């Protein structure tokens, strides 16, 4: 926790001045079938916070699969979100793509809307690579991190960036 503040970092090491401006703490793009991490973007500005993104991605995917297995009945249930006191983990799936966002609890409707826009944008750009994923992550997917860096994720995700 920051001195003289009620803001918790939850291991993401956000600078004091940035803590109130970031709605999203991290976003993970996973291949649902293999659990492989395709891309991640952490909004951590502290170089001393060492986050093993592969471990986090694998855990988030395993949790998703676990919920699907333990749900009794014929209808397959998918995890939508996990809530904590001040943060939440949102899940959004599109085909083979599973995107998980860790957010500050600001407004669930806005957070979910932005996440859906990101999922749609990412999937529409890389549909072929996602559906034929063979364990190799293409450089164009890795370049998507630049798009996330220049986008303001506190409001609606803007589709007008071209690179």
SS (H, E, C) 114-127: HHHHHHHHHHHHHH
Say whether pLDDT at 122 is over 90.
Answer: yes
- The pLDDT value given to residue 48: 57
- The pLDDT value given to residue 160: 45
Secondary structure class of 111 (helix, strand, coil)? helix
Beta strands in the chain (DSSP E): 24-31, 37-42, 81-83, 87-94, 97-104
Average confidence (pLDDT) over 127-139: 94
Average confidence (pLDDT) over 129-146: 94
Token pair for residue 155? 């409001």
Residue-wise pLDDT tens digits, 26-38:
999 999 888 899 9
Query: Which domains does the chain show, CATH number per domain?
Result: 16-149 (3.30.450.70)
- The pLDDT value given to residue 75: 65
């Amino acid at each position: 926790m920051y001195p003289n503040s009620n803001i918790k970092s939850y291991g993401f090491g956000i600078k004091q001045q940035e803590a109130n401006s970031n709605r999203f703490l991290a976003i993970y793009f996973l291949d649902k079938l293999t659990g492989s991490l395709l891309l991640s973007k952490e909004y951590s500005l502290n170089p001393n916070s060492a986050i093993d993104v592969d471990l986090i991605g694998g855990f988030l995917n395993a949790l998703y699969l676990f919920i699907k297995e333990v749900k009794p009945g014929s209808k397959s249930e998918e995890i939508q979100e996990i809530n904590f006191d001040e943060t939440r983990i949102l899940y959004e799936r599109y085909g083979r793509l599973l995107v998980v966002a860790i957010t500050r609890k600001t407004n669930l409707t806005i957070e979910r809307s932005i996440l859906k826009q990101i999922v749609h944008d990412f999937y529409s750009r890389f549909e072929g690579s996602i559906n034929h994923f063979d364990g190799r992550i293409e450089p164009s997917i890795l370049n998507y991190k630049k798009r996330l860096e220049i986008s303001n994720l506190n409001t609606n995700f803007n589709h007008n960036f071209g690179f």
